């Protein structure tokens, strides 16, 4: 019970941070709005509100677990007094339902943690021979003949429900060599029974790096300061344009990325940490046939 209360306090702190970011974003929109809200801010607020909703769900779930724990203790004490054991099938069924609800509420938080862990677990490239391929190491792009395999994560340009184009984090379902077309699944399945699928031309799919680059060994395999890139915005599954503010000092360091944000005089947000795995070469979206 004490551990649950500690987790509730942590979630409350996280929720306050997210709500603070929402308030600041609204202030920036109001101070810089001239011709309506930009697609960038719509997408950013959508992500922040989604995160705030998931924060609230996790807090509610933890409070529910705490109340369950208190009830369980009360029942055990009561059963002990009358010499009974807690073997009711209805109690077991209720616990199973509660567990299912908790899993659903934790899904997005778990996804964010998984993405961060995947970035940390990305191996550092170690060169063993002069002929060894260095594609997909840090900022090094894949070769022209390369195509991602099913299960690989990629950045893909897709049409949103609002009719806009957005670079999203996705997972490859299949690849058609004849048409050079991927079928990809949106990695974010929040509120969906199944993942959204899109058919996307190879030119609008960017594979993620397979290795981190060590700047002390391969300085050329990292984006230079000032380079325009697309990077995964923290706590979202969408890539946005930005500039490299600081390069990683060593293999385990993150980039510092200043995202494009017209609410600031400079046109960019304060720099935010983004792992090497989620910093990619910028590709300008073009009008194209949408699937």
DSSP string, 163-177: S-EEEEEEEEEEEET
39-70 pLDDT, tens per residue? 777 888 888 888 888 888 888 877 877 777 77
Paired tokens of 205 = 């799919």
The distance of Cα 142 from the centroid of its chain, to the nearest Å, equals 22
pLDDT above 60: residue 80: no
As a whole number, mean pLDDT of residues 262-284 equals 93
- Say which residue, 54 or 194, is predicted with more confidence: 54
- The structure tokens 């017209």 sit at 262
CA-closest candidate to residue 250, choices 214, 210, 221 = 214
Q: What pLDDT is attached to residue 274? A: 97
pLDDT above 60: residue 106: no
> CB 47: neighbour CB atoms within 10 A?
18
Calpha distance 76→86 (Å, rounded) = 7
DSSP string, 142-161: PPTT--PPTT-EEEEEEE-T
Residue 122: pLDDT band (50, 70, 90) is very high
Residues 6+ apart with CB under 8 A from 256: 244, 245, 246, 271, 272, 273, 274
Lowest mean per-residue pLDDT among 159-173, 184-198, 238-252: 184-198
Reduced to 3 states, what is the DSSP secondary structure of residue 212?
strand
- What's the mean per-residue pLDDT of the chain? 83
206-246 pLDDT, tens per residue? 999 999 999 999 999 999 999 999 999 998 999 999 999 99
Lowest mean per-residue pLDDT among 49-63, 119-133, 184-198: 184-198
Calpha distance 274→126 (Å, rounded) = 22
213: alpha, beta or left, given left = phi > 0 and alpha = psi -120 to 50?
Answer: beta
Lowest mean per-residue pLDDT among 19-23, 113-117, 272-276: 19-23
Q: What pLDDT is attached to residue 232? A: 96
Count, residues in the chain: 291
Residue 104: pLDDT band (50, 70, 90) is very low
Calpha distance 291→287 (Å, rounded) = 12
As a whole number, mean pLDDT of residues 62-88 equals 61
User: What is the DSSP-derived secondary structure letter of residue 62?
Assistant: H
188: alpha, beta or left, given left = phi > 0 and alpha = psi -120 to 50?
Answer: beta
Q: What pLDDT is attached to residue 33? A: 59
As a whole number, mean pLDDT of residues 15-40 equals 76
Residue 86: pLDDT band (50, 70, 90) is very low
> CB 201: neighbour CB atoms within 10 A?
15
């Amino acid at each position: 019970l004490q551990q649950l209360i500690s987790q509730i306090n942590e979630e409350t702190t996280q929720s306050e941070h997210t709500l603070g970011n929402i308030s600041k974003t609204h202030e920036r929109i109001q101070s810089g709005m001239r011709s309506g809200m930009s697609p960038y801010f719509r997408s950013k607020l959508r992500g922040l509100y989604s995160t705030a909703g998931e924060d609230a769900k996790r807090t509610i779930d933890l409070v529910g677990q705490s109340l369950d724990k208190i009830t369980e203790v009360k029942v055990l004490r009561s059963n002990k007094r009358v010499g009974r054991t807690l073997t009711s099938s209805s109690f077991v069924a209720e616990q199973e339902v509660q567990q299912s609800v908790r899993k659903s509420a934790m899904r997005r938080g778990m996804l964010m943690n998984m993405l961060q862990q995947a970035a940390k677990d990305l191996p550092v490239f170690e060169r063993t021979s002069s002929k060894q391929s260095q594609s997909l190491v840090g900022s090094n792009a894949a070769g022209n003949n390369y195509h991602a395999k099913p299960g690989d994560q990629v950045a893909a340009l897709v049409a949103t429900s609002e009719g806009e184009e957005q670079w999203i984090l996705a997972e490859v379902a299949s690849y058609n060599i004849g048409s050079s077309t991927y079928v990809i699944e949106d990695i974010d399945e929040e509120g969906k029974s199944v993942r959204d699928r899109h058919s996307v031309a190879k030119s609008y799919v960017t594979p993620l790096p397979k290795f981190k680059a060590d700047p002390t060994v391969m300085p050329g395999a990292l984006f230079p300061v000032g380079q325009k890139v697309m990077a995964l915005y923290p706590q979202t599954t969408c890539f946005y344009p930005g500039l490299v503010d600081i390069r990683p000092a060593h293999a385990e360091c993150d980039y510092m990325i200043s995202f494009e944000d017209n609410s600031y005089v400079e046109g960019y947000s304060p720099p935010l940490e983004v792992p090497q795995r989620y910093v990619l070469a910028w590709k300008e979206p073009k009008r194209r046939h949408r699937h």
